[in-house]
Amino acid sequence: MPRTSPACCTLLGACCAVLCAPALADGSVTVYGRLNTSLEYSRASTATDGTALGSVVRLNNNRSVFGLRGEEDLGGALKAVWQIESALSLDTGEGQIASRNSRIGLQGSLGLLFLGHWHTPYTEATMGYDPYYPTTAGYMALIGNGSASSTDNVENTSSFDRRQKNIVQYRTPRWSGLSLWLGWGLPEEKATVARNPALYSVAAVYERGPLNATLAWERHQHYQAAGRNDDALKAGVAWQLLPGTRVAAVVEHLHYRTDTGDLQRNAYYASLVQKAGTGSVRIGVAYAANGTGSSTDTIGFFRSGAQTHATQFTVGYDYPLSRRTALYAYYSRISNADNAIYDFAINDLGIRAGADPQTFALGLRHTF
């Protein structure tokens, strides 16, 4: 008989325990998931220093998940809510329980308060604007400066696109379409590092009819050095113009403060989803300007100086086979200036300065 990994046994045991528990009589449980895998041909052009990586054919997992979520009525307008979301890697057979958005909280007429391991408000406010989130072609290569699937205040100190461990969040009720999301990444690492790192994240989100708009800010306290903070500010808007046409745009400013000085950068993103036949054409374009400031450090994918800008272009087609299953194909390329080092945020190629990573993908996605 084939052997079952300990991680799989743990996950199956948790599912059985939840699904068979008598407490279901007082609440509800939903089993859900996303299976998303693509076959990709990827390569990078020759770098400025002459390094050539060549090409590779690979099977990539695009953050497949298995999850359980539920709620329990506590009386009046109050209810308890919870979620356990786990990572699955169909290409390698690996996985980890509760490694993705997981929480426990209370929801009522005054809003939602929860504790756990979750995307920051800054991240979640605009990730739906990108039709390729979260795949190799996702906008996180330029917007947010990389992607941290699961991190705390010291494991990843560069990315503003992140799922944060040990986070407390509060989300207000919606008032005339507007709600406020607040997040605090607790400074638990203070006991292990010679500084006091913490995270503060805020997003004002407006959603009414075909319009979604947001203004988001996030501070990384003492991430690069003691007594110095990093900040990110972005604004975004998405508009459903017609039943088959959706456009979105994001503008972002990042500001890091390091031991060697300041490092700043502006970036821009726009996307179009256009119904074409049975499926839809999906286009995304991002531009990251030159890094500026006196810092000599490289933070994530960028640094200060001339010829450090980059552009990413992605085009593809999504074809639904059913309400839950779709085939898709896309081509994505990051064009780096001579001194730029932008790479794919997920399934990176490990490029050198000036190389242009690109990938062609054919994938299958199923949700349940």
221, two tokens:
């306290």
**Residue 17 counted as domain residue:** no
Q: What is the pLDDT of residue 54?
A: 87
Residues 6 or more apart whose CB falls under 8 angstroms from that of 125 comprise: 181, 203, 205, 214, 216, 234, 236
**Residue 13 counted as domain residue:** no
Radius of gyration of the chain (CA): 21
**Residue 21 counted as domain residue:** no
**Residue 277 counted as domain residue:** yes
Please give the C-alpha separations between residue 335 and each of 60, 87, 281, 286, in angstroms, as whole numbers. 22, 31, 22, 10
Q: What is the pLDDT of residue 21?
A: 45
Domain hosting residue 57, numbered range? 28-367
CATH of the domain at 355: 2.40.160.10
168, two tokens:
């407390």
**Residue 334 counted as domain residue:** yes
**Residue 88 counted as domain residue:** yes
**Residue 12 counted as domain residue:** no
In tens digits, the chain (368 residues) has pLDDT values of: 444 444 444 444 444 444 444 444 467 999 999 999 999 999 999 999 999 988 999 999 998 999 999 999 999 999 999 999 999 998 898 889 999 999 999 999 999 999 999 999 999 999 999 999 999 999 999 999 999 999 999 999 999 999 999 999 999 999 999 999 999 999 999 999 999 999 999 999 999 999 999 999 999 999 999 999 999 999 999 999 988 999 999 999 999 999 999 999 999 999 999 999 999 999 999 999 999 999 999 999 999 999 999 999 999 999 999 999 999 999 999 999 999 999 999 999 999 999 999 999 999 999 99
Number of structural domains found in the chain: 1
**Residue 39 counted as domain residue:** yes
